[in-house]
């Protein structure tokens, strides 16, 4: 079932939670709604489910406008952040709930429930109460319960946030497998970009109730359409620079970089956004535009080493994959293998402040 969200807005009193959001989801896609806490993604999900009514805009399933339909009528499977399992029912009874409500035959229910229990690998725990299950098990019961009624669409609200790291890691991949097996259109909400990038077909980045960018994981990571997306997804270094014609001058250095193809803005102050893994480190200068730097911090993380660098006017963090052992105080030369350029603009400082407050940048 294809979903079309058209210009949906929702406010709570003075607070605008969702502000004119539009996007499309193709049948069978697994889409992530990604954004920081409080950005309106959960509200948006609830609007799609029919648990909230939008103030403006339309939610369309397969060409049919759903605005007038209640949550009950929309045939949406919803998995809540804290599972919302019925505590007085066993896992089995929870899963059977939708079928009981529809008054299906006993045999049919037993068959379907059994099938789902095997699907989520809860055989042996079917008679347990939620209080007797672990977080990961409750999660799987919640999913099975939502799937029991064969919904046309699956909505998941931060399904992994309440779980331990290891459990989370295994369940994320499991969700993707489940999705591939059942091929049901799914939208899941998360603030964890790793989850979003790992399993989704498409990521919709949301901030302050608005869509920032829509694209596959690679697109969103490599070609962020604005500074927020660049800073929110993955780690980023932000460098002040000046664009003069075809050349970019990095403040405080002798570096001269090329204006990237496709960037059409006129000369002026700009910001360079460079991913840590796109910073190359050399022991000797290569060319007149090599940038000298001093190593100020080293964090060995097994497969990579994070290296803090101090340049004349600013600092950088680079990701090094070679097994070279760095020392603090060592002199090194820096070059940028890839970078994105943005105009400074009014929102620059506001975005920086927001990201600092969220703890995404120093």
Partner 1 sequence: MKENKSTPGGLVLRGITLSYIALLIVLPVIAISCKAFDGGIARLWQEISLPQALFSLKITLILALIIAIVNVITGTATAWVLVRCDFPLKREINAIIDLPFAIPTIVTGIMLVALYGPRSFIGAFMQNKFNIEIIYNSPGILIALLFVTFPFVVRCVQPVLQEMEKEIEEAAMTLGASPFQIFTKVIMPTLFPSVVTGAALSFSRALGEFGSVVIVAGNIPFKTQVAAVYVYGEIESSNVPGATGVSFILLVCSFAVLLLLNFIQYWNRRHEER
By CB under 8 A, tell whether 106 contacts partner 1.
Answer: no
Tokens of 130: 């939620």
Distance of alpha carbon 280 from alpha carbon 216, whole angstroms:
26
Residues between 115 and 174 with contacts to partner 1, criterion CB under 8 A = 129, 131-132, 145-146, 148-149
Residues 62-81: x where in contact with partner 1 by CB under 8 A, - otherwise, as a string: --------xxx-xxxxx-xx
By CB under 8 A, tell whether 97 contacts partner 1.
Answer: yes
CB of 58 to partner 1, least distance (A): 20
Output 94 or 213, the one with its CB closest to partner 1. 94
Task: Check: CB of residue 203 under 8 Å from CB of residue 220.
Answer: yes
Output 153 or 334, the one with its CB closest to partner 1. 153
By CB under 8 A, tell whether 16 contacts partner 1.
Answer: no
Closest CA to 51 of 157, 182, 140: 157
Task: Check: CB of residue 148 under 8 Å from CB of residue 99.
Answer: yes
CB of 36 to partner 1, least distance (A): 22
# residues near partner 1 by CB under 8 A = 32
CB of 189 to partner 1, least distance (A): 14
Tokens of 307: 């290296």
By CB under 8 A, tell whether 82 contacts partner 1.
Answer: yes
Closest CA to 33 of 159, 179, 218: 159
Output 101 or 247, the one with its CB closest to partner 1. 101
Other beta carbons less than 10 A from residue 161's beta carbon? 15
Task: Check: CB of residue 18 under 8 Å from CB of residue 209.
Answer: yes
By CB under 8 A, tell whether 101 contacts partner 1.
Answer: yes
Task: Check: CB of residue 34 under 8 Å from CB of residue 224.
Answer: no
CB of 132 to partner 1, least distance (A): 7
- List the strands of the sheet with 340-343, edge to edge: 256-258, 247-250, 237-244, 268-274, 340-343
Piece in contact with partner 1 (CB under 8 A), picked from 97-105, 106-114, 193-201, 225-233: 97-105
CB of 88 to partner 1, least distance (A): 5
Tokens of 143: 């999913």
CB of 131 to partner 1, least distance (A): 4
Nearest-10 Cα torsion for 45, 51, 56, 62: 70
232 has which bridge partners? none
Task: Check: CB of residue 159 under 8 Å from CB of residue 81.
Answer: yes
Residues 107-126: x where in contact with partner 1 by CB under 8 A, - otherwise, as a string: --------------------
By CB under 8 A, tell whether 86 contacts partner 1.
Answer: yes
Output 80 or 249, the one with its CB closest to partner 1. 80
Binding site for partner 1 (CB under 8 A): 49-51, 70-72, 74-78, 80-82, 84-89, 97-98, 100-102, 129, 131-132, 145-146, 148-149
């Amino acid at each position: 079932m294809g979903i079309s969200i058209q210009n949906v807005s929702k406010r709570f009193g003075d607070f605008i939670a969702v502000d004119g959001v539009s996007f499309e989801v193709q049948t069978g896609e697994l889409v992530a709604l990604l954004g920081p806490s409080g950005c309106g993604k959960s509200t948006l999900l609830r609007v799609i489910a029919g648990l909230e009514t939008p103030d403006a805009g339309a939610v369309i399933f397969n060409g049919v406008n759903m605005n007038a339909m209640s949550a009950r009528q929309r045939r949406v499977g919803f998995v809540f952040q804290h599972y919302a399992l019925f505590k007085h029912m066993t896992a089995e009874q929870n899963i059977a709930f939708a079928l009981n409500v529809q008054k299906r035959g006993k045999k049919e229910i037993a068959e379907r429930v059994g099938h789902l229990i095997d699907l989520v690998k809860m055989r042996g725990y079917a008679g347990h109460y939620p209080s007797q299950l672990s977080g990961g098990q409750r999660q799987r019961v919640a999913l099975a319960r939502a799937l029991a009624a064969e919904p046309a669409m699956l909505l998941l609200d931060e399904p992994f946030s309440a779980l331990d790291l290891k459990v989370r890691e295994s369940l994320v991949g499991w969700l993707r497998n489940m999705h591939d097996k059942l091929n049901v259109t799914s939208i899941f909400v998360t603030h964890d970009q790793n989850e979003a990038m790992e399993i989704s077909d498409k990521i919709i980045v949301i901030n302050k109730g608005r869509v920032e960018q829509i694209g596959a994981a690679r697109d969103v990571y490599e070609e962020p359409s604005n500074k927020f997306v660049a800073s929110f997804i993955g780690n980023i270094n932000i460098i002040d620079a000046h664009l003069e014609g075809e050349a970019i001058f990095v403040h405080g250095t002798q570096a001269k970089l090329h204006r990237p193809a496709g960037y059409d803005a006129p000369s002026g102050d700009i910001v360079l956004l460079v991913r840590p893994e796109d910073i190359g480190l050399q022991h000797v200068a290569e060319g007149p535009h090599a940038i000298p730097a001093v190593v100020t911090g080293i964090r060995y993380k097994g497969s990579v080493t994070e290296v803090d660098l101090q340049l004349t006017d600013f600092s950088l963090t680079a990701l090094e994959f070679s097994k070279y052992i760095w020392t603090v105080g060592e002199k090194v030369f820096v070059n940028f293998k890839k970078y994105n350029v943005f105009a400074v603009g009014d929102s620059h400082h506001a975005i920086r402040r927001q990201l600092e407050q969220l703890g995404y940048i120093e």
